[in-house]
Every structure is written in structure tokens, then in C-alpha cells.
Amino acid sequence: MKSNVRDASTIRIGYLDGTRFARAVVAGAGRVIRMAPQLNEINVFPVADHDTGSNMAATMRGLAAGAHLGKERSLAKISAEIADSGLMDARGNSGSILVELFYGLAESFEGKDRVTTQQFAESVKHGAFRAARAVEQPKEGTILTVLKTWSEYLQHEAEIEGDFLRLFERSLAVARDAVEQTTTQLAVLGESGVVDAGAKGFQFFLEGIVDLLDKGIADEELPLDELKTELGEHGPMADSCSKYRFCTECLITGKNLDRSQIRNVVESMGDSVVVAGSSRQTRIHVNTDTPGVIFDRLFSFGELQKQKIDDMFRQQVASQRCGTQQVAIVTDSGCDIPESEFDELNVHLIPHRIIFGKRDYLAKMTISSDEFYSMLEKSKEHPQTSQPAPADYIRTFEFISSHFPKSLAILMSGKLSGTYQSGKQFAARVSDRIEVIDSRTCSVGQGIIVLEAARDAREGKPIEEIRANIDRRIRNTKSLLCVETLKYLTRGGRLGRLKGFVGQLLGMKPIFQFDEEGSLQLAGRALRGWSVHEALIEKIVELGSTMKLPRVAIAYADNLKLADQSAEKIAKQLGVTEIMITPLSPVMGVHGGKNTLGVAVLDEAAP
């Protein structure tokens, strides 16, 4: 029978201050990060994309980073730093919900240097309420259910228990029971025979804290950025609970952000909506078919950061094929192949950024070719390109390395961009089963190499054969690019102002070719009155005429008719029956503008 009187002589931890709170967060985060692969395995709700563990691990790294920032014992200050830091790195539904819990704690801790068990229980109640309010349609059997159960137990128990150690030990047992019950509370969990992954992740977080309080054991020296992603043994994904294709997230920063208005905008265009954060910065999660439209509308509220899009359709296909396909193929959005081929061959995409003034877009995801070239003509500011964000590399690499024994990332020429070098760096952090390859080209040259590698992978060829074929195709691919005007090369700084001015006076229209090292070299030009496209065709025919089995691909900038006419002429002169035609990525189009053509020819028969 419990006593209603606290025995102060047996209390080991009677208060919680900033230092203790920070250590507890790091300990709990370390436990979740260690157990991320297990969470990925059981993830079936709200979308069975096997990434809850990775998402929670990323969120925990952010929370732990905030905990390490604390230089003082004030609970109010360190809790605010932890919440803000966690929000910056939060990913997925569960990650956003956890951050909202920490914002609720920080609000309740405001003005306090330390709290008792009763005060802590009141703060958790407030945090759990905020977390539930952040979700559009809360469901029983999720992390929210466990948070509510844990919070209610703390409320009751803290009235008679003044020791944080005993309080956490007993509440952990309650949380574990609540996690086990999720299987019966949510139909999709029962059908799959698993508990909710987000709820289990919170259980791991509490376990890390209890180990610290009870035994002094914590992963405070955990190398949070150096843990490798393990290959899972999961089967095909269950059908998604969402009817939408893209899992979409971003962070909005600004002043006096109205989260209710933000929620109204997002809810009308998707489901699984979570809006978390503060009036200074707010994170949005939504499943939608129109991520670009959502980002455009959210831009009116403040600055958009950390835009993230996961293609759940391609993840679903990857899950279905990982049992028979041993190698995943990855590329970046400087690679041009038809969208249908990306889907059919399940090529995973790491997006470059296209920046118009203060607004940035994800190439091939949130801005179409038509939209890009229209904006290019009208914008007073010339757009800039940026290589993919670190989070985009890491998230893509984590997914493929958890599904496939081996992965090959074929990226645009290292002579053009830091994409290849960054890809090597981030792949090494995620898994030693990912190899990053310099295509030494871009656009449709890169596209032909990626397309054939993906076909090899789908056929189940061993990685050694696929890798050898990639090397052979890189050697035997000739890639050219022509521009009709020097205006965009000059505006973008790729061509010296004086050279650009002289070239325009002369009416010069250059043809560039990738050399063996992946650098762009001037390969020809058309002067005033001459068609640069005809000159390009002549050059391609010249290169292809010496090939035994030429394969040709064309990328066009806002002029499909020109691409069709060029393909017809090349096909007739080279005797090829099929030419791949696809829009030119904004990653290259930003430098050439409308009527730019990229053409590649591969000798598939060459050794």
C-alpha cells in the first residue's frame, strides 16, 4: 500500500534542473538512435515507408545538439534551446510530435531554474496537450496515445512521489504497457502484428533516461553523426494509409507566425498534417500530391527552410523489389530521363536547389520545366543553382541502404559541381554499402548511363557486372550541349562579362562537349545567320557515325518541336530507330535558357 507522505530520506533525485534535463535528453536520444533500425522494421503507420527510426534518430540528433549547447543550469533556458534545436532537424510525424512535446515543456518551464516531480508532471501534461493539438486528426494507438497515458500516470504518481528516479521507473512500466496495447487500438498495426513505431521510439527514449538515472549509464559520448544504417529484413510495404504520393515537410521562420492559419492552408491539400513549433519557427508535415503548391502558399508566411519531399510511390516500389533486386540506383536532378522511366525503373532522386531571389525550389520536384523557363524569362534576378542539401543525401542514402544490400549513386560531373564529392562524404557516413560514381557528364549523357544501370539492376545482375557496365558506358558516351544565346551564361557569371558581350556582338552560338575528365569544353560554334542546332546535329552525326551501335538521347529547353525535328534528322542520318527525348533539367537550363539542346550518343557495342 502506498503512503501519501513522501519519505525525504530516501529521495535520490529530488529536483530537475537544466544540467540534469540536458543529460537526460542526450541519454534518451542515444537509446533511440541505437534502436532506429528496429523502429524502421515495424513502421507501418501512417505510411509503411520503414523510415520512422531514421526520422526519430534525426530528430533526436537535433534535440541532443540543443542539449549540448547548454552552458548553464537554468531549466527554462536549456529547455528552450533543446526545443528550437530539435525543430530544426525534426523529421516525420513522430519527430514533429516529439518536438511539440518539448516546446510544451519549455513553455511550462519558463522562468524556472528547477522543478519538483509535481511541477514536472504538470509540464508534461501541457506538452502532451500541445503534441496532440499539433496533429490534424489524432488517432488512438499512436505515440500520442502513449504520451497521454504516460502524462496521466505522472499526474497521479507525482502527488505521492518526490523522487525522479522512482517516478521514471514506474512511469516507464506504464509506457511499455501502453505501447503494447497500440497493436489492438489501430487496425493496421493489428493486421501487421506490430506496435506503433513512434510509440516504441518514445519508450526507448524513456529507457535511456531511466538507465542514466538508475545506473549512471548514458550514450553522452555517442557519435551522433557517424552511425551506419543497417540493412533491414522487412517485406513489402503494407498499403499506405494516405491517398497522396509525396511526404512533404518544411520549416517556416518569421515573426508572429499564426499556426492556425498555416494549418488551414495545409489541411486543404493533403492528410497526415502536423504543425509544430512556435511563433518564430514552425515545422509542417503533410502528405500531398502538390508539394510545390503547398510551398508556394506557405512562402507568404515567412522564409521557407529545410524543404523535404519523399516520394512514397517510389519507396513502395523499392519495398516490393528489394527481395529480388540486389542493387539500388540513385542519381541527382541534373540527370535527364523521362519521368516515367524514373518511376518504372525505381531510380531514386537527390534534388538540386534552384534559387530565384529569396525563394528556392527542388529541381524536378517543386518546379516544372515549363514553370522554370517562364520564370527565367520574367525574373529580374538570374536564378542560382545549389547542390543538394546534406539532409537530402542522408535521407535518400538511409532509405536505400536499409532496403538494398548494395547501392550505386551515379552523380553529375565532379568538374561541374560539388555534388559528387558531397555524395561520397555523406554516403560514407550512412553506409559502407553505397558506392558513389562520377558520371563525368550531365543531363542526357548522365541519363543514358543511369537508365541502363537501372535496367541492369532490375534484371537482377550482380553489382560487379553493373559496375563494369557503368564504367564502359561512361567511357563510350559523348555528351554535347548548345545554347542559342550567351545571355544566361553571362548573367549567371559562367562567362566573363567582356567575353559574353563580344560573343553576342559576333552572334556566336557555342557548342560545348564533356571531355574525358568531365569538364565542359568548347567543341564548335555557329556564327550569325547559322543554326547552332544544325551545327550540333552535324557534330552528333559525326561522332555517332563511327559507332557500331549508337544510342541517342535529347534534352530540350522549352521547345519540344525543336527536339522532335532534331531527333528526326539524327535518326535518319545514323539509322537509329529510337531516340529518347526528355525536358532539360533546370539545373542545366539555368545556364542556357530557352532552345538549349543537350544531346548524348552512346556506343553500346564498344568495349
Q: What is the mean pLDDT of residues 332-356?
A: 94
CA neighbor of 557 nearest in space, from 599, 513, 511, 528:
599
Beta-bridged to residue 248, according to DSSP, are 286, 309
User: Grid coordinates standing for 408?
Assistant: 550505386
Q: Going by C-beta distance under 8 Å and a sequence separation of 6 or more, which residues neighbour residue 37?
A: 53, 229, 230, 232, 402
The DSSP 8-state label assigned to residue 355 in this structure reads E
DSSP code string of 23-58: HHHHHHHHHHHHTHHHHHHH--SS---S-HHHHHHH
Average pLDDT, the chain: 87
Among candidate residues 58, 78, 63, 99, the one with its CA nearest the CA of residue 17: 78
Averaged pLDDT, 69-74 = 70
pLDDT, tens only, 197-231: 999 999 999 999 999 988 776 555 544 455 566 66
Higher pLDDT, 219 or 567: 567
Answer with the residue of higher pLDDT: 337 or 368: 337
Looking at the predicted structure, is the pLDDT value of residue 529 above 70?
no
Q: Per-residue pLDDT tens for 421-458? A: 999 999 998 899 999 999 999 999 999 999 999 999 99
Q: What is the mean pLDDT of residues 410-418?
A: 94
More confident call, 51 vs 353: 353
Instruction: Name beta bridge partners: 555.
Output: 582, 598
Q: Predicted confidence band at 10 (pLDDT cuts at 50, 70, 90)?
A: confident
14 against 453, higher pLDDT:
453
pLDDT of 46 over the 70 cut: no
What pLDDT is attached to residue 43? 78
Percentage with pLDDT > 90 across the chain: 62
Higher pLDDT, 22 or 219: 22
Read off the pLDDT band of 515 (50, 70, 90). Answer: very high
Q: What are the φ and ψ backbone dihedral angles of 557, each rounded to 5 degrees?
A: -110, 95
Band of pLDDT at residue 505, cut at 50, 70 and 90:
very low
What pLDDT does residue 444 have? 97
Q: Put residue 593 in one of left, alpha, beta given phi > 0 → left and psi -120 to 50 → alpha.
A: left
- The pLDDT score that the predictor gives to residue 138 is 81
4 pLDDT more than 50: no
Residue 542: pLDDT over 80? yes
pLDDT tier, 494 (very low <50, low <70, confident <90, very high otherwise): low
Could you tell me if 86 and 64 are in contact, meaning their C-beta atoms sit under 8 angstroms apart?
Answer: no
Q: How many CB atoms lie within 10 A of CB 12?
A: 10
Q: Where are the beta strands (DSSP E) in 83-216?
A: 114-115
pLDDT above 80 (res 460): yes
Cβ proximity of 327 and 318 under 8 Å: no
The residue with greater pLDDT, 522 or 597, is 597
Q: Bigger pLDDT: 43 or 225? A: 43
Query: pLDDT tens digits, residue range 129-187?
Result: 999 998 877 888 899 999 999 999 999 999 999 999 999 999 999 999 999 999 999 88
pLDDT over 70 (residue 491): no
Q: From the CB of residue 5, how many other CB atoms can be counted at a distance below 10 Å?
A: 7
Q: Where are the alpha helices (DSSP H) in 241-389?
A: 259-267, 291-298, 312-321, 339-344, 369-378
As a whole number, mean pLDDT of residues 247-261 equals 92
The Cα–Cα gap between 490 and 506 comes to 15
Mean pLDDT confidence for 491-504: 52
Q: Which residue has the higher pLDDT, 552 or 367?
A: 552
Q: What is the pLDDT of residues 108-138, one digit of tens each?
A: 999 999 999 999 999 999 999 999 998 877 8
* 530 compared with 597, residue with greater pLDDT: 597
- Which of 153-157, 322-326, 371-375, 485-489 is modeled with the greatest confidence? 153-157
- pLDDT-based confidence at residue 38 (cuts at 50, 70, 90): confident
> What stretch of H or E contains 457?
helix 443-458
Is residue 24 predicted with pLDDT exceeding 70? yes
Which residues contact residue 19 at a Cβ distance below 8 angstroms, ignoring those fewer than 6 apart?
Answer: 70, 73, 78
All structural domains of the chain, each given as residue ranges with its CATH number in brackets, are 8-215 (1.25.40.340), 242-309 (3.30.70.100), 310-475 (3.40.50.10170), 477-603 (3.30.1180.10)
Higher pLDDT, 36 or 289: 289
